[in-house]
Structure formats: C-alpha cells, structure tokens
Structure 1
Amino acid sequence: MSKELFEQFRRNLAVKNADEISKSYRQITEKLNGKYYDSASDILHCRQVGSYGRHTAVHGVSDLDMAFVLPWSVYDRFQRYENNKQSALLGEIRLALKERFPNHEVRAQQQVVSINFTDYVVEVLPAFEHEDDSYTYPDANDGGNWETCNPVAEIDEINALNQAKNHNLKRLCKMVRAWKNDHGVPLKGMMIDTLCYQFLKNTADYDANSYSAYGEMTRDFFAYLVDIDEDKEQWRAPGSGSIVTKSGNFHPKAKKALRRLQEALDDAEVAHERWSTVFGEHFPEYVEQEKKQAIAENRVKNGEQFIGRKFSLDIQYTLRIDCSVKNEGDRLRNLMSRVMTYRIPKQRELTFWVAEIDVPPPYKIYWKVKNLGPEAIERNMIRGEIRIDSGHHQITEHSTFQGDHYVECYAVKDNVCVARSRIIVPI
C-alpha cells in the first residue's frame, strides 16, 4: 500500500502550470536578448535557478528565479557610473521588462527585477558569467556592490546526488516542502534542499530503495532533523558552499511529524491517517471504495475548502494563533497542557486571535473552522469554508459539537499563502 501512496503523492506534488511558467521565462528571455544581444532567441542566455531550476519545487510554487547572463560590455558600461552602478543596471532592466509587460507589476528589488504574473512572481537576476560558471551580480543595498554566487554548481551537485541516490533526493525535498507548507514551518527552499542533501549524503540505507521505503526514509529524515542542534544557525549549500541561514525554529513541528511517522510504521491501521496528517492535502486518499465515495460526497455537500486550492502555498514566515475559553479562566493551550484529557464544555464562547506574526505588511488574514466528530457529521455541520478576516485578526466561535475540531489561520501576501497556524479544539 505505501508504495502506491507515495508514488501518487509524488505525482500530486508535480508543478501543474509548468507550461505557463516556461512561457513566462521565454517571454522575458526574448525581450532581454533583443535588448542586449540583438537576438530574437527565447532560450539563449537564460538559466532557471532556485528550487524550480533544481527541480525540487512543488505545485503552487510562487517565487521563480532565473538568471539572465549579460555581456561583460554591459558590466564595463555601468562601471563608469559614479553612483550606485548596481541600482542603475536594475533600473535599466526594469524599464525593458516593463515595456514588454505593461500590465504587470515590475519592480527593481535589491538584486533582482521581479515581474508579478498573479499566480507567481519571476525574479530575474542580471548576471555576468565566469569561466567556472559562477556569476557576478548586482546588489543595490548600501550604495551598491557586486556580489558572486554559483547556482549552477548547486544544481549540478543536487543532480549528481539525486542520481546516486536512485532519484530519492529531489522526491524527499518535495515531500518536505509539502510538510512545510501544510504545517506552517518557517523553512526556505534552499534550507530544505540542503538538509535533505546532507541527510542522504550521509546514509546508504536508501541508495537502492524507492517508493516502498518512503515511510522509513521520511521517518529517518525527521529523526535527523530532530537531532540537529537547536542552536545551529548556518549550513553550507551543496556545490556552491554559500551560507544558508535558518529562518525559524523547525524542531517542535519536526518532533510532532517524527512521532506520527513512527506511529504510521508501527500500526498499519493508522498509517494512512498519520501520513496524511504529516504531509497534508496533497497526500492521496487510500480507503475502502465506499468510504472514499462518502468522503468525496461529504466534501462537496459541505463545501470544504483548502488553502492550497485558493492560493499558491509558500510558507516563509511565522504565524501563531491562540484561543481563550470564556468562563474557563485561561487560554486553551494552557488548559490542555495542565490537563491532558481536558475538553471544552459545550456552549462556551471561544475567541481565536493572531498571537504572533512576522509577515511584512501588507497581507490578508483568512480563517477556517472545521468541525469533526460524529455529532457534526450527523447534523451536516462539518463546515470547512475559508473566509477572510474582518480586520480585527480574530474570530469568535462557540463549542457546540462534541469531538476534536480545529481552527486554521492563514496569512496571504500577493496571492500567496506565506504563513499558517492551526489549533486543535477538543469539545
């Protein structure tokens, strides 16, 4: 069973709009080739980089990176500028791309020029290529500087280890992204790829294995995450050796994932539920046909919505919600930590609010309330719709149906869900 589940999981994570993304890359490339090379080519001098270039991105990827290699004569021209040569170069490229995309937002931002295509943003890195395939690129911060990077070396190293590990590296990177996006873990793409690379580089356990061993492989990866020193802040990227910095504490959620993944291996009857809990909505359903049909009909009937189907998902920031229970004298998390079997009495007023968020404004807040348990199902009150916040960053609910329910909160910026949080509500 696990082989078929993880094989379908990989297919579910594939980028569905790859043709549209490729079209955007070609249009950008054609415009810049026309300006800097007097060429109509839509493929030359362009390199897909970032997670999309490393082939570790998943469906819903919102930040797409490309490097466009410029002639060194352009570098020489801007070197003659007295003030912020780098800002001037970015500004020139922005004007060219704005001419090509007049109806899109085009911005020069520190090291890149970004084009907003509604469902995703393409960030163009102007690059001057060296013989070792590394790049010199502009950084407009602090008066302007030239910096170096080597994304090609990163791609080559990821490709080499992926081949040596029976294609398991890139698949593991994608599965970890699904976990990150579903649980709101502040892990950036290069960090995920670096951690997965280091894990597989230091074990031969899965060199000859594939989907049938992914239950064990993901369990072992999360055990590796949990064992990392919580004070460790920096890693070296594969290939380039560039510094990769931790953007948040992933240990608490990694420990929960590890526990559930171990439970999936220990008890076949709960395996599917535990894997689904860890990996989220892209993990495939695998239940008896009649139950599967009932679930599908129930979701349609109750109009349950999923954030990954309304917006692109790319969790980058921290969001934490809390809940107070009227007449109970404390917050829900504190009540549950003191009494492991605590359940909220019926007919209590519950207030949920955003207790912590580090998303730079502007952004929008959305909420989802999901009622579970036999009473809610019997009365057809499962709910699960996603609604926008009223502006107060809080909602009020009432404990009506017995069972384990949950409330989720999402922060959406530029049509991308960049942070999320969930709280279990036992009634």
Structure 2
Amino acid sequence: MTARVRDFNEFLRDHVNLNQSRVESLQKRVSSLDDFISERSSLTDMVNGDIIPQGSFAHRTIIKPYSGNDFDADVLLPLEEQPDWTPKKYILELNRALGASSNYAGKTVLGKRCVTIDYANDFHIDVVPFVTRSDGLTYITHRIDNEFVRQDPVAFTDWIRESARTTNGHLIRVVRLVKYLRDRSSIEVPSVVIAALLTERVRIFSVHGEYSNVASTLTALLEDLNDYIGPLQSPPFINDRIGGNIADRVTQTGFKNLQSQVSTWARKARQALDAKSEESVEEWQKLFGTAFGNARVSNAIDESVVAAANTPHIETYEYTMAPGEQTLEGSHGIETRIDPNYHMRLVGRFSPRSTPKGRPRPMDSNGGFVPIGRELVFTVEECNVPGDYDIYWKVRNAGPEAARLQNFRGEIRKAGATITENSMFYGPHWVEAWAVKRGVAVATARQDVTIMQN
C-alpha cells in the first residue's frame, strides 16, 4: 500500500480545501450576522441562541468552488415559536429584518426555506429559521407550502462528527475529495447526500489500518459505497437521523450517474492504493488529474498567514508541535499505549451570549464554531477505563492570531473530569484529554474548536 500522505495533504491544500482567506471571511460574516440579528434587529426578542452552522459549513466539507462559481454556507437561526405566526411568516419577517439594515438591504433573496444573503459573487449564506415548537421538537419552515417541516440538522451534524472521529478525521477529507470528483463529473447529487452515503459506510469496528490515512479511508469508503449502491435499482432510503429520507433530493438519473461514477472511482482508487511507490502518483492522477502530486508551493504556510503573523517565517503550528508544547512522556514521564478497547468521549460546550435567552450548546452540534468572548466548558462525559485513573489535559491554539500573540500554549496538566476556558481570540484551537492508568495513557479524546472573528 502506498498512502502518499504528503501528496494528499498538498492536493487538498492547493486544489480542494477552501482557501483560508475565504474561510475567515465567511466566519466573520456569520459572526456579524449573529450579532445583528441577536442584538439589533426586529427579531431580537424572539432569538433563542446563537446562529448554528449546518450542512457543509458545520461539517467542514466546503470546498473551492469549481469554474468560478461562488460557494454557499447554511446557518440556522434559532427562534422561539410565535403562536400567532403562520410558518411562512418566519421567513418573511427574517427578510424584513435584514432589509431594514444597511448591511443587508439589497443583498437578500427569498427562498422556499431560507433567506439568502449574497456577498458579491464570492459566497452566499442561506439563513434558515429554526423553530422549537411547543412539542419540544425542532422545525424549519416552508414559505411556499406554508408549513412546518420537522428537522434536526444538529443531530445530523453530531452523527457526522462522531463518525469522523472513528476514521481519525479522514472522513471529512474524503467527503471533500468526493465532492471535488463530483464537480468534475456529470453527477448532480447534493452534497448532503454524498456526505450521508459516505458516513453510513463508516464501520465502528474497522479492519486494521482501514482508516489510518486519507488514501486508505477514501478507497475503503468508495468500495463499500459501490458494494452498497451498485446492485440497487433506485436511490436507497438515507436516514436524516430523525426518520426522514434525504434521498428524496436525488433523481433517478442522478442516482444512475452516481452508481456509474462511484464504480469507476472505487476501481481507480484501489489500483492507485495497491500500486508500487514509483507508479502510485501516476495511478492517483488517473482519478484526480495531473494536479495530484504536483504541489504548487514547497510548504503549507499561506502568504496571508505570514503577513498576519508579522514574522518572516512563522508557522501556524496547526499540524506540528508548537514552541514550548509539552508531551506526556517528555513532561510527565507518562507512556502512551492507547488501548482500542477503551473509549473516551469529550464534550465541549460554550455559554450563550450575555442576554438571558439561549442555552449552552455542545460544540459538535454546530461544527465546533464558537464566537469570541464565551466561556467554554470541556467535560469527559464517557470513559470505560476500569478502576481508578487520572485525566490529563492539553489546550492548544494555532493560526495567525495565536502566532501574532505568541500564545500557542500546549502545556499538559492533571485535572478532574471538567476544565473551563474562554474564547479569547479567533482561529483553530483544540483540547485533548487522556485517561492515565498506572502511569500509562490508555485512552484519549479530542475536541476541535474554531473561534470565529468578530
């Protein structure tokens, strides 16, 4: 097996992943939108918490738009139910509230389920009213049909994030790669369907090494998907995690095209993965094109990152050890021998804004995106390590702002099952926890956090 780890990382960075400047612009726009609606709009009194990223935005599977197109991001606006409002009025009132602001006037378009804000042909944000009704369940609204539609996108996001952990995070990269292939094919299948079909193929108890890198994960999931949909005559039922069918968004023609392409992709991926090292780049190029294996730059440091850090050769340290970062063995003499039979679940929550409405939300339910200035609480909520054990924690910052402030952190400390932090500055961050028994780390868990710019 030839994993081509570096080539995949460079291909994703240069050709697939949304570039960092656009990511930061999107996050800043969402943060500003959240502030306006929650604090200065005609809907302020009925807002029930922060805006919730959903779809590709929450799943972190947005990719570079193909052929100059813009990209879109979906967000949910939590609203309290208004007993005298019809379902369509939520969308109409949202559009009216946005139109009353000089920042959004003339930029909005009414949709069936959302109000779209268009940002100058770069990207657009679909804002979806998200109503918790008297039955305690969550709904979106349909303007044309004037009805409430039962949905729980938060549960769907939780499912994808949990499955991503099973694949060591590679599921997210695989979804991006398959969307890249889709955009260069004749397939017309929504991103959410692709994400769901691939996530359904993740095995909790995988074959040894199956999800050890991007190449093997991609091959395994494509082959499993081909085995699943190949014999079918029509799109299968795809559970939206509350009993609805996502596959109703796929036409029969779209499904047949998907079947054909997945069969081809799976075959090419297997040939590339099994190829000899000297032949593997050429084999992967048969799947992804000649851009694969031809990195445009020699390192992963974006010029914008260097400029922001105001240091000639500073690294963001998102994927490498930061200055002063500690390791369990080096700083505490603790050996790491993770036992696959042990499981830890780390849950991060962030506080609502200063207004009394809203509630602390689990970070995974909104893709780990957190506004600046919130209290963050991380708790080990599940751990099946038997007997007594200690919990050790590491908090790490990364990105240009951490570099500018020279605040990467990375110290390891012994604490209880809960620690408290604050979202002080924007960028990628993460928290790791280890269960240490008799001087050996036998289980671990991680919570990623992206703090959005104001």
TM-score range, shorter chain: 0.5 to 0.7
Aligned counterparts of 2:279 and 2:34: Cα–Cα separation in 1: 50
Cα–Cα, structure 1 residues 164 and 222, in superposed 2: closer, same or farther, change >3 Å? closer
| Gap change, CA 1:158 and 1:134, over 3 Å in 2 | farther
1:367-417 deviation digits (Å, cap 9, x = unpaired): xxxxxxxxxxxxxxxxxxxxxxxxxxxxxxxxxxxxxxxxxxxxxxxxxxx
2:261 maps to: 253
Deviation at 1:49, TM superposition (A): 0.5
Supply the AA of the counterpart residue of 2:284. Answer: W
1:189 is matched with which residue: 188, 191, 197?
191
Which residue is 2:305 aligned to? none
CA 1:27–1:204 in 2, change beyond 3 Å: closer, same or farther? same
1:45-103 CA deviation, whole Å, 9 max, x = no partner? Answer: 2100111112222233712100001122xx2231xxxxxx2333322211221233456
Do 2:91 and 2:114's aligned partners in 1 also have CA atoms closer than 8 Å? yes
TM-score by length of 2: 0.54
Distance 1:261 1:137, change over 3 A: closer
Q: Secondary structure at the match of 1:204?
A: coil
Task: Give the Cα–Cα distance (whole angstroms) in 2 for the partners of residues 281 and 49 of structure 1.
Answer: 33
- Other-structure match for 2:175: 173
Letter in 1 for 2:99: K
Note closer, same or farther for the CA distance 1:270–1:255 as it changes in structure 2 (3 Å cut). farther
Q: What secondary structure is seen at the aligned counterpart in 2 of 1:200? A: coil
Q: 1:282 to 1:238 in 2, by over 3 A?
A: farther
Aligned counterparts of 2:136 and 2:9: Cα–Cα separation in 1: 35
How far, CA to CA, are the matches of 1:281 and 1:244 in structure 2? 34
Select the structure of larger CA radius of gyration.
1
- Report the alpha carbon displacement of residue 243 of structure 1 after superposing the two structures with TM: 0.8
Partner amino acid, structure 1, of 2:110: A
For structure 1, the 5+ residue unaligned runs are 79-84, 290-427
Q: What is the number of equivalent residue pairs in this alignment?
A: 275
| Counterpart amino acid of residue 74 in structure 2 | D
Aligned to 1:341: none
Distance 2:43 2:143 in 1: 24
- The SS at the match of 1:237 is coil
Preserved CA contact (<8 Å) 1:87 1:139: yes
Residue identity opposite 2:223 in structure 1: A
Say if 1:284 and 1:96 are closer, same or farther in 2 by CA, change over 3 A.
farther
Q: TM-score, normalised to structure 1's length?
A: 0.57
CA deviation map 1:171-196 (0-9, x unaligned): 22122112112224222111111111
In structure 2, the partner of 1:277 is 286
1:35 aligned onto 2:36: no
CA contact (8 A) 2:80 2:133 kept: no
**Where does 1:267-346 land on structure 2 (aligned, <5 Å)?**
267-268=275-276, 269-280=278-289, 283-285=292-294
2:223 corresponds to 1:218: no
Per-residue deviation, 1:205: 2.3
1:4 corresponds to which of 6, 13, 17: 6
**1:99 and 2:106 are equivalent in the alignment:** no
Q: Identify the match of residue 77 of structure 2 among 56, 68, 82.
A: 68
Contact 1:90/1:111, CA 8 A, preserved across alignment? yes
Matches within 5 A, 1:114-263: 114-117=116-119, 118-129=121-132, 134-142=137-145, 144-201=146-203, 204-205=206-207, 209-211=211-213, 214-227=214-227, 228=229, 229-237=231-239, 239-245=241-247, 246-247=250-251, 248=254, 249=256, 250-263=258-271
- Shift in alpha-carbon separation, 1:180–1:53, aligned structure 2, 3 A: same
Change in 2 beyond 3 A, CA 1:149/1:48: same
Q: Which amino acid aligns with 1:219?
A: T
CA distance in 2, matches of 1:104, 1:35: 16
What secondary structure, in the 3-state scheme, does the structure 1 residue paired with 2:206 have? coil
Q: Which residue of 1 aligns with 2:415?
A: none
Question: 1:203 and 1:90 mapped to 2: Cα distance?
Answer: 43
The Cα of 1:236 is off from its aligned counterpart by 2.5
Alignment check: 8 A CA contact 2:167 2:217 kept = no
Structure 1 residue 197 displacement after superposition: 1.0
Q: Contact 1:276 / 1:283 at 8 angstroms: preserved in 2?
A: yes
Q: Identity of counterpart residues, as a percentage?
A: 17
Shift of 1:276: 2.8
Partner in structure 2 of residue 23 of structure 1: 28
> Structure 1, residues 210-249: CA drift from partner, whole Å, max 9, x if none?
32xx333323322223321332313333533431113412
Indicate the SS of the match to 1:126.
strand
1:156 and 1:239 in contact (8 A); partners too: no
Counterpart selection for 1:56 from 46, 61, 68: 61
- 2-side partners of 1:223 and 1:106: how far apart? 42
Letter aligned with residue 218 of structure 1:
L
Distance 2:41 2:113 in 1: 20
Cα deviation for residue 112 of structure 1 reads 0.7
Partners of 2:190 and 2:208 lie apart in 1 by 25
CA contact (8 A) 1:64 1:123 kept: yes
**Deviation of 1:130 (Å):** 5.8
